[in-house]
A and B are shown apart, each in its own frame.
Chain A
Amino acid sequence: MRYFIALVFLFIGNQSLVYSQNKVSGTITNEKNEPLGGSHIHSGTAFVISDPNGNFMMNLPSGAHRIIVSYVGYKAVDTLVDVRNNMVLNLTLKQDISALSEVLIYDKSLKTNTTVDRQVLKVAQLERYSSGSIGDALKEISGVSTLKTGSTIVKPVINGLHSSRVLIINNNVRLEDQQWGLEHAPNLDINTAGKVSVIKGASGLQYGGDAIGGVVIIEPPVIPVKDTLYGRTILNGASNGRGGSVSSSLFKGYQTGWNWNLQGTFKYLGDVESPDYVLSNTGTRENNFSGGVGFKGKHSGFTAFFSYYDATIGILSASHIGNIADLVGAINSGTPNTANDFTYNIAAPRQEVRHYLGKLNYYQNFSDLGKLTLQYAYQLNDRQEYDIRRGDDRNKPSLDLLLSTHSVLADFETSSSKIARYKFGVSGTYQNNFADTDTGVRPLIPNYDKFEAGIYSIATFALNDTWELETGLRYDYSRIDATKFYLKSRWDERNYDADFSDIITGDFGTQWKTNPDFTYHNFSGSIGAKHQINTNLTWFTNASLANRSPNPSELFSDGLHHATGQIELGDLRLKNEKAVKLSTTLAYTSDTFAFEINPYLNIINDFTLLEPVGLEQSNRGAFPVWQYRQVNARLMGLDVSANYDFAKNLNFRSTFAYVYGEDRNNHEALIDMPPINWNNSIHYSKSEWHHLILGLQSEWLFTQNRFPDNDFIADVPIDGVFVPTNVAISQPPKGYHQLNFSSEMQFNAFEKSKITVGFNIQNIFNTNYRDYLNRTRLYVDDMGRNFTMQIKLNY
């Protein structure tokens, strides 16, 4: 048929051009010198198609002609030829990788982790949070909320679970950044991400077996295999905090398969303000840098990547608590005890964190067998926490931890069969924590060495066109070998002598030196199915088992945590946490409507939680004591999201999340469960008007009515007399609703570059509110109205 058309065109061409004909002929090949039969060759109205050997011939009158040669999957050649005589035109077309990858999306090949529904944030969504954090961006996904300390330290909470229960995989490396701390935010720059996806629950077994909450996967942008150089610069300005950020990235790809990229972010913000007062000492600074070089060949390739994250984060002055009387004073006054004028300065208390990541990744494709990936990564996390101190200690950190992690992994994924795919791998980690003793404060987290090894396998089967099945198993070995000093009085109070007298290795007067050396064996697994009910409707169902070893904070904490003003007590007897999660998702998609509903049940035995248990007296007065305790827990919830293009230019989006957490031992609510969260947004877009997008978003957080009553009575001096007073730490704040506005337009700036200008308002009505999952909620209102401006340049 093709030839017939070509012949017809040739024939017509001959008919109309009767004089001064020149024969233009040649061969169209690709870079490997293979002929491209079926290439289209145009010139004006003339049109021919090359034969299977890539040869073509066309007649053209004398003169200058524009000749266009195209072939699917290759970049078209558009050239001017001055035709005088019969001539030969041999052309080589280059492969267009970006075009091919578009095609690959429709390839129904099997992939792992298909039986749970992955939620994904793409570049456009991530860019809006360029001056924020990964935690803020993840809130766009239904079922993901945030645990905050102020407005700058933001941790993701997946289906009610956070910290050590949420793995963060950055660039295929499991982030080790002292994630045990509630006030330790993920140490990474959101601007390095090209795509962020969330797997709720433990079915992402290749990443670890302890993802009781879930896995956040951050992938860098993909650089195409072609000669290209592009980049992006984002400028952000914010009225609240009176600062902003600038982030730039540059990507270079080569046709040969090589590529490199560089990226840097600089952020500078002063004190944030609530509607009524300045939230003193809440400024932030960030200086981040990353770069990589890689080679993508057909059979093998590698990437080398380095990133550096450096943040200084002010901690709200008003949250600095001396003792229980200060706490009661702060809670009952309703306003912060310190609210100074706005400043960019960051005083104590503050955190200074640096995270270095270096990795090498190599892959090899074995033509019909599959793909082998090998990776080594080194991470160094350097954290100092500065407190308000006295005398010579004033400029010394109260906490100074250096955590270094070496990790290796090897994965093999088969591709030999269209109906079955197997992925298996091994991983090993060596981690060392060094707690600097120059702080003059006993470190809660001791020096330790940790050794981990894991092995997993995942099998995915396509039963038929509509059913896919996946099963996976994983085993993890974990050994922690620590050197910990205990106050003898604490050792006795914890009653450790009965069980652990054999770990004492030295007597230092008031302290014991001990060598806790614990080993944990964790088995995890996952089984699930995906059923394509019809073209629009997909049903996912999954059951997973996860095991998590206690983290160093849960095991070893043994005293006053200066960052929180509370005594935190770990327990050497803690066992590993075991969770079984059942989850099912029904997803509907059509051209204009998408809907997803995901109920789940997570049964967790030996769920470790930190709860207040009483008071301890010192010369500073009384301190609340919080102790790690294990209970059997049950979390049930429902995540819903909908997306509807209800008119040509109008889009409506809604997400809803609810989680019900119960302590099965005591038949009471679990602490820190996110309240019902319902977000609705409407967007108007008109591409003719410089791609105008206008959006209005409503964020509605209900009041959390289910909470454990951990209030306690303390004697608090009121006008010189000690009065037994209720310390009201349990009651969640009232729910709130806030409205946000967003807008953007796109302009062509120079040749090949685009400028996108965005203007946004968060909390339009400057509503006063407090969030249950914000650790500063006892002291101050949350952030007030914020006007932000974003200028994005793509080049």
Chain B
Amino acid sequence: MKMIKLVPMALIALFTFNSCSSDDDAQPVNEEEVITTVTVTLTPQNLLELPVILISNDIDGNGPIAPQITVTGTLTPGETYTGTVSLSNILTNPVDDISAEVLEEGHEHQFFFNAPGVGTFAYTDLDVNGKPIGLEFTFLAAADAVSGNLTVILRHEPIKTAEGVAEGIITNAGGATDVQVVFPITVQ
């Protein structure tokens, strides 16, 4: 009985002895799930106006450097914008389009937008169960000039059937946060 067990063990032992000896060719891991770049594009329905582009770029993922926020353009009072969210990981080669994965698993993800006083949001996309995802939405800017914050939160495995969640109210959503960024925006 004993030999039957000892032989594979000896083999395992040999294998591990050999496999460890050279770490010279070890390669670093580029984190696959890290979202380095969150881009929110707000395209005005009035084609004469310029789009507003909000970017949060975290060049070291979970590292110590905080994300850098860039806001290009200002919002026009009372204007309706078509919004999209794009997520990517620039640490991998080729760059990983994470928003495509979110779309694919739309029923397990939902974005929540909030810009109190600055504008209102409405989802325009649906997952397989007819619940919103939030990769696409419309944004109606406030009627008067104002400055404030736009918060974008992506929850993984939220309770999409909970009260208010389909309307974009995060309170009962639960799940784990995958994205949480804040952009300063101005309506003028």
Contacts and interface: CB of A to CB of B under 8 A. Distances in A.
Interface of A: 260, 291, 293, 304, 306, 320-323, 325-326, 337-338, 356, 358, 378, 380, 388-393, 402, 404, 406, 432, 434, 437, 439-443, 447, 449, 483, 485, 487-490, 493, 508, 510-511, 513, 559-560, 567, 616-621, 623, 717, 719-722
Given A291-B5, A404-B16, A722-B182, A621 B105 contact: no
A616 B58 CA distance: 12
A358 B5 CA distance: 9
B171 interface: yes
What are the 9 tightest A-B residue pairs by CB atom distance, in nearest-first order? A720-B114, A322-B177, A621-B180, A440-B32, A322-B176, A391-B101, A483-B23, A617-B66, A493-B64
B26 A513 contact: yes
A105 B156 CA distance: 62
B143 interface: no
25 contacts: A260-B1, A304-B6, A306-B9, A321-B176, A322-B178, A378-B12, A378-B13, A380-B12, A388-B176, A390-B98, A391-B101, A406-B13, A432-B16, A434-B20, A437-B28, A439-B29, A441-B29, A485-B28, A487-B60, A489-B64, A508-B28, A618-B67, A620-B178, A721-B116, A722-B182
Given A441-B31, A722-B151, 17 more contacts: A293-B1, A293-B2, A304-B6, A322-B156, A322-B175, A358-B6, A389-B33, A390-B33, A432-B20, A434-B19, A487-B63, A493-B63, A617-B58, A618-B62, A717-B114, A717-B151, A721-B116
A490 B33 CA distance: 19
A619 B38 contact: yes
Contacts of B23: 447, 483
Contacts of B114: 717, 719-720
Contacts of B140: none
Contacts of A560: 62
Contacts of B153: 717
Contacts, number: 170
B16 A304 contact: no
B68 to A, nearest CB: 10
Contact of A720 (B17, B62, B98, B151): B151
Contacts of A510: 59-60, 91
A719 B31 CA distance: 31
B35 interface: yes
B174 A390 contact: no
Contacts of A623: 62
Contacts of B34: 618
Residues of B in contact with A, size category = 35 or more
A485 B182 CA distance: 31
Given A260-B1, A489-B64, A717-B153, A619 B29 contact: no
* Interface-central residue, B17, B29, B102, B181, by most chain A CB under 10 Å: B29
Contacts of A338: 174
B179 interface: yes
Given A326-B176, A390-B156, A513 B2 contact: no
Interface in B149-166: 149, 151, 153, 155-157
Interface in B8-59: 9, 12-13, 16-17, 19-20, 23, 26-29, 31-38, 56, 58-59
A447 B157 contact: no
Contacts of B63: 487, 489-490, 493, 559
Nearest to A487: B63
Interface of B: 1-2, 5-6, 9, 12-13, 16-17, 19-20, 23, 26-29, 31-38, 56, 58-67, 91, 98, 101-102, 104-105, 114-116, 149, 151, 153, 155-157, 170-171, 174-182
Contacts of A378: 9, 12-13
Contacts of B19: 434
Contact of A442 (B26, B29, B116, B180): B29
A80 B163 CA distance: 87
A77 B17 CA distance: 56
Q: Specify which of B27, B36, B61 lies most central, judged by the most chain A CB atoms within 10 Å of its CB.
A: B61
A320 B176 contact: yes
B29 A440 contact: yes
Contacts of A406: 13
A440 B23 CA distance: 18
Contact of A337 (B61, B116, B174): B174
B113 to A, nearest CB: 9
B3 to A, nearest CB: 10
A380 B5 CA distance: 14
A402 B32 contact: no
Given A447-B20, A619-B36, A620-B177, A404 B156 contact: no
Contacts of A434: 16, 19-20
Given A304-B2, A390-B101, A513 B181 contact: no
A364 B1 CA distance: 24
A513 B29 CA distance: 11
A321 B5 CA distance: 42
A734 to B, nearest CB: 26
